[in-house]
A and B are shown apart, each in its own frame.
Chain A
Amino acid sequence: MDKEGFDLVSGLLDEQLSGIGVYLPDTSHVDRGRRLVELVQLLRTGLHDEHARIVEAFPGAEPAEQNALGRKLARLLQQSRVLHMLRPYVQEVVRRDIPVGLWQVIDNLISALLPHRADAVIHFDDDHNMYATLDLATAVAGTLTALGRSYDDAVHPVVFFLPGSDPTNALLMPILAHEVGHPAVEASNLGSETLKRIPDVAKLNQLLDECLKAASTPSTGQWQLQLAQWMDELLCDALATVLTGPSMLFAAATFLPAPELGSLRTHPFPADRIGFIVELLDLLGWTPTLQSRLPLTLNWCRSLHQPEGPDPRERFLRGAVQLIKPAIFEVARAHTTYVFKPEDFTTLVDPITELIESGIPSAQVPGYELTPWAITLAAWLLQFQLRGDAPKTMAAAVADSEFNLLVHKSIEMAGIAKLWAQTP
């Protein structure tokens, strides 16, 4: 890059960085979400200072180094454009129309799964209509390091993406719990923790070796990365199951959906995931509840199976999951601050369902604290009771917007009742 080109890109970068300053909201009176704005400001300052450093180094550098510095300057311009891409999320910080019940569910998920907490920003996703989370401080950590900066606040800004068409669907909230699992896995290195607890590593290595020999042109690295991705997804399924109980099974069966054939990509196959959740629920003591209330649906979930394909990579991944599974269960139970157990639920189910069935939000059961997950599970069980014990009930329940609104309102009012009880 010659001097003229360098000066042009330098001017563009100045303009981009000034533009970012224009859209950043005033957060002096904002509590939730202010860390996202602070992170964008930190990146902006880092880019600005790096820009100044390159401008200073360029004139005295040799031609080859000038080329490298020119490319770096163009890269800073790219990064400034990335900052502009964060604008839709930054603007959510000052938003005031998010339903209170949604905040309560998100606060519950943060307190149960993220030991360092999180500063949530809620975004209704109209582009992909999906659940997701994005821990932005972790996502930009590499960029910050390259800029000689670091984000030192233990509490990270996390964007919660909810489907724009139906963001408050109460019965699907366990899927959001799965998504909160991702920043939990990253922040607490749960993947490494799981790998440390694998009962028989030699067997796992033997499986890898056998399958690599059977493959024609294997890339060990890609196989290992894919195993890590599958392990992450299963850890998130396990965290959500430990926290939300059987509601995760119903939500996952509907959302995946369970009968769909999986492809050999970033996620384990739906049938395998359903089997994994059923097994964990059994370990947590939920089988008698499920067996007595929805035996047909439970048996259907157990019967799901995807036949093994010819690819040795598939044999490795599915076989490895079987070997790693006990470690995942152990890590998920140890990490979640609240384990939803049947004994915490049996006395609550009837009082909750009686009110909801009458169309009244269920906010209190004297002597007990109602969690969002007790209400959600009671609501799912009520749907099976009203619509029948069959897999199609799950689709009908999720689609019943009036019912979901009532459940959502119950969660909201239970949260308010809890705050009321804590008021001195």
Chain B
Amino acid sequence: MLADDVVVALLRTLSGRQLEERDRSALQRARDILAAVTQLEGREVATGSVFLTMAPLRAIEEAFETVNSASQTADLSHAIAGYIETLDGILNAAQQPPDTTGQLKDLFERIAEHTFTRSEEMVRPSRDERYEWIKKALTL
């Protein structure tokens, strides 16, 4: 649900509209998630704030997988650093180039689509998905 709010906030930024408090808090939360993903992508074991900020573990895993699959880049850490910079700029009311804001909006569009599809599979599984375990059990 957060991804939709971020997309709305970024569309408002792109059209030069004033951000509401709610938009700002969605962008801030998105920034925290991206920062946590960066920590996990480091070459050192993450012993810092990531597990506190993002607890529970399921939420961290979900956020990591979603950002990872939506980022469409080999160098995830570098791309995320750029996104965080853009978000910081927007949150500090600094003027951002429309193309970087647009790229960020595209990322969260993909995240929104991705999470929407995943939720749909969960709340309305297809007949095959619902009985998948039977198929699996029969072929093991």
Contacts and interface: CB of A to CB of B under 8 A. Distances in A.
Interface stretch (A61-69, A333-341, A399-407): A61-69
B136 to A, nearest CB: 14
A71 interface: yes
Interface stretch (A18-26, A87-95, A104-112, A138-146): A138-146
A195 B37 contact: no
B4 A208 contact: no
Nearest to A75: B1
Contacts of A220: 40-43
B100 interface: no
Given A75-B116, A208-B43, A68 B51 contact: no
B56 A138 contact: yes
Interface in A168-214: 186, 189, 191-192, 195-196, 198, 201, 204-205, 208-209, 212
B95 interface: no
A241 to B, nearest CB: 21
B78 to A, nearest CB: 14
B119 A75 contact: yes
B120 interface: yes
B4 A224 contact: no
Contact of B123 (A65, A85, A147): A85
A228 B44 CA distance: 13
B40 A221 contact: yes
B52 A229 contact: no
A221 B57 contact: no
Contacts of A222: 64
21 contacts: A62-B11, A64-B11, A68-B7, A71-B4, A75-B116, A78-B123, A82-B122, A139-B58, A145-B2, A147-B1, A186-B57, A189-B55, A204-B45, A212-B43, A219-B68, A220-B40, A220-B42, A221-B40, A221-B76, A229-B61, A320-B45
A203 B4 CA distance: 42
A220 B37 CA distance: 10
B55 A196 contact: no
A30 interface: no
A92 B24 CA distance: 40
Interface string B1-21: 110110110011001000000
Nearest to B53: A192
Contacts of A62: 11, 15
Given A68-B7, A78-B116, A78-B120, 4 more contacts: A82-B123, A192-B52, A195-B45, A221-B76
B93 interface: no
B112 interface: yes
Which range contains the number of B residues in contact with the other chain? 35 or more
B60 interface: yes
Contact of B47 (A71, A143, A146, A196): A196
Between A64, A69, A186, A227, the greatest number of chain B beta carbons within 10 A of the residue's beta carbon is seen for A64
A240 B58 CA distance: 21
Contacts of A195: 45-47, 51
A173 to B, nearest CB: 24
A349 interface: no
A326 interface: no
B interface majority secondary structure: helix
A201 B45 contact: yes
A81 B44 contact: no
B45 A205 contact: yes
A196 B46 CA distance: 10
Interface string A143-156: 10111100000000
B81 interface: no
A225 interface: yes
Contacts, number: 111
Interface of A: 62, 64-65, 68-69, 71-72, 74-76, 78-79, 81-82, 85, 138-139, 141-143, 145-148, 186, 189, 191-192, 195-196, 198, 201, 204-205, 208-209, 212, 219-222, 224-225, 227-229, 232, 320
B116 A74 contact: yes
Contact of B11 (A65, A76, A148): A65
Given A208-B45, A221-B37, A224-B45, A68 B4 contact: yes
A228 B5 contact: no
B4 A72 contact: yes
Contacts of B64: 221-222, 225
B79 interface: no
Between B47, B64, B116, B122, the greatest number of chain A beta carbons within 10 A of the residue's beta carbon is seen for B47
A78 B124 CA distance: 9
**Top 10 closest pairs, chain A to chain B, by CB:** A146-B1, A221-B40, A72-B4, A195-B47, A81-B123, A68-B7, A186-B56, A205-B44, A78-B119, A192-B51
Nearest to B4: A72
Contacts of B4: 68-69, 71-72, 75
Contact of B8 (A69, A82, A192): A69
Nearest to A219: B68
B42 A225 contact: no
B57 A191 contact: yes
B68 A208 contact: no
B137 to A, nearest CB: 13
